[in-house]
Structure 1
Amino acid sequence: MHGCNFHWGQAVFRKIQELGMQPGFQNDLGLNQYCKQILALAYLPGELIDPTLTELESEATIEGQQHLCAYVRQTWMEGSVWDPASWSSFYRAIRTNNDVEGWHRHLNSKAGRGQLNMYLLMRLLATEAALVCDNLTLLCESAVIRRQRKAARRNTQRLFKVWDELITKDKRARQTLRAVSKLLPI
């Protein structure tokens, strides 16, 4: 199981806001680039996240940056719930849980209402389970494709190019972080 990159970034960005750094994020290019590199940590391989965060910590010049690094370290690195490998989206084409949320929306629309009793829910899940084999066959035959906007597809291609440069040692972790931070939609 892997975390959702969107929700990870959202949690980190909320911390940026909580620390009062959003105006600086919007108006100060240096702070913007620094925060984007923190947000881009999730795009590195799990084993490179800690040493790269340590580098970023050593460059933190203002209190907000120091608190942001401490938050990432305490919550996402040293916390008992997640380890970096579980929230790293390195070399993953699918980096969010949008597919799961879409299936949940589909299930809710089939139910026609919320707050189903257990028996109706079981019947609905049994109907969905019966479709799993058919859906798997369609996926294996490439009869079903994942819809993705052109801009998102282009961004994913750029991301894989950056990742390939890290894998082939053409880029170091920090260079990869900078390149990825420029691809972030924020």
Structure 2
Amino acid sequence: MLAERARTGLLTVGLFTALLWAIHLVNVLTGTRLVGWLGIDPRELEGLDGILFAPLLHAGVGHLVSNTFPLLVLGFLTFLEGARRFSVAVAASWLGSGIGVWIFGGGLTIGASGVVFGLFAYLIVRGFYNRSLRQILLAGVLFLMYGSILWGVLPSPGSNVSWQAHLFGALGGLLAALVLKRRPAPEGTDRRRQSNRR
């Protein structure tokens, strides 16, 4: 079961990142016109569609590379919990980041870093919500690997990095972890299971 889920996760996340590279190629070939059409333009009605499309666009190869590897790692680890949890975590991070940028952003914004921050936040806190030692240990490893990115949720004067995308993407991931936390089994469930096994 886990092996099958791992294969599906690798395929899903791999295809998604391949799609990002394909879209970047199209964007370059069209003179980066997609950025103006599909980026998030804060507080402008014309920029609302960017909430859905901006994470698919990147400003350059360096920008795309910086998001590709975290997406592969964090996306795969999230998918190991199942397609439903992966979908909810990605959607919450995607929409949270986009809506936050549209309301509070300072300029035209593109990139999947909000999703990266959302998945990171989701994986960090889910173990504490679920009281799972294995997930808490994994969170510790991830924090050692990627913990420095948390500085990205703070405003950085003079930077063209969207801290709003990072902050609200992370909040979306926290919300997903809360919504998806495992609920305790009803009292007597274990006893009934034991009875059924006899």
TM range (shorter): under 0.3
The higher-RCO structure (CA 8 Å, 6+ apart) is 1
Please identify the structure whose Cα radius of gyration is greater: 1
